[in-house]
Chain A
Amino acid sequence: MSVYLDTSAMIRARKLNLQPEGITRTHTLAEFYSTLTGTGVLTMVEGQEKKEKISPKRAAAAARETFSKITFVDLTTADVFESLERAVAENVQGRNIHDWLHCAAAEKAKCAAIVTLNFSDFSAMTNLPLVNPAKQFSAGRVA
C-alpha cells in the first residue's frame, strides 16, 4: 500500500533532492508553490534569522521535478461537501480545513499512512498512522 505525502513532506523531499513515490492531491502542488514563493521559510544566516524563498520560475520547476513520481488522487466536489459536513462534527475551523482535506484524500486513496511534519494537527484528524519524512526518506526509502 502507498503512503500519502502532504505539503510539508514534499518540501522536505525537495530539500533532500528526492522525488518520492506515493500519493497526494493536486492542491498540494499549489501549497508547495505558494510556500516556496510566499513570505519565506525561516532559517539562520550568519547567526541572524532570515527568511528564504525562491523565484516563481524555480518553484514551478521544483514542483515538476519533486512531484515527478507522485500519483494524484483528488477529492470530487461531492467528496469535499461530505468532508466539510464531517468537519463540522469535529469542529474543524479556519486553515485546519486544508489538513482535514489532506486526511480525507489519504483515506479516499486507502493509503497506509500519511507522511507529514504536522503530527500535532493530523493526529486529531485521522486514525491513519503518521510517519515523519525523515524516517520515510531515510536509507533511500522514498515509497
Chain B
Amino acid sequence: MRPLHSGKSVVITEHGRPIARIVPEVETRLVSLEEFCASEMSDEAILKAIDEARE
C-alpha cells in the first residue's frame, strides 16, 4: 500500500508477467471558480479531463 499512498502505481505480476496495474486515486477538491482559474493546469490535464467527461 505504501507506493499507492505516495502516488505511485503498482504492477501486479503473474509468473513474472505484468497482468494488471493498480493506479492510486487522486483526491478531487470542489473549489471556487477563482481558485479553479488560478490553478496551474497543463494542456494534457485539460485534455484528459475532457476525455474522462466523455466516458
B45/A42 in contact, CB under 8 A: yes
Provide the residues of chain B in CB contact with A43, threshold 8 Å.
Answer: 39-41, 45
Tell me, yes or no, whether B32 is within 8 Å of chain A by CB.
Answer: yes
B29/A41 in contact, CB under 8 A: no
Provide the residues of chain B in CB contact with A98, threshold 8 Å.
Answer: 54
B53/A12 in contact, CB under 8 A: no
In the complex, how many angstroms separate the beta carbon of B27 from the nearest chain A beta carbon? Answer: 5
A39/B28 in contact, CB under 8 A: yes
Tell me, yes or no, whether A7 is within 8 Å of chain B by CB.
Answer: yes
Report how many residues on chain B are interfacial, defined by Cβ distance under 8 Å.
28
| Range for the number of chain A residues in contact with chain B | 35 or more
B27/A36 in contact, CB under 8 A: no
Tell me, yes or no, whether B52 is within 8 Å of chain A by CB.
Answer: yes
Q: When each residue 24-60 of chain A gets 1 if its CB lies under 8 Å from chain B and 0 otherwise, what string results?
A: 0000000100111011111111001111111100100
Tell me, yes or no, whether B47 is within 8 Å of chain A by CB.
Answer: yes
What is the CA–CA distance of A11 and B31 in the complex, to the nearest angstrom?
16
Tell me, yes or no, whether B22 is within 8 Å of chain A by CB.
Answer: no
Q: Could you give 17 example pairs across A and B, Cβ below 8 Å?
A: A14-B37, A15-B37, A35-B53, A39-B28, A39-B53, A42-B41, A42-B42, A42-B48, A42-B49, A50-B29, A51-B26, A51-B28, A51-B29, A53-B31, A54-B33, A95-B55, A98-B54
Given contacts A16-B37, A40-B28, A53-B31, 15 further A-B contacts (CB under 8 A): A7-B50, A40-B49, A41-B36, A42-B26, A42-B48, A43-B39, A49-B26, A50-B27, A50-B28, A52-B29, A53-B29, A53-B36, A54-B32, A98-B54, A117-B46
Binding site for B on A (CB under 8 A): 7-8, 11-12, 14-17, 31, 34-36, 38-45, 48-55, 58, 61-62, 95, 98, 117-118
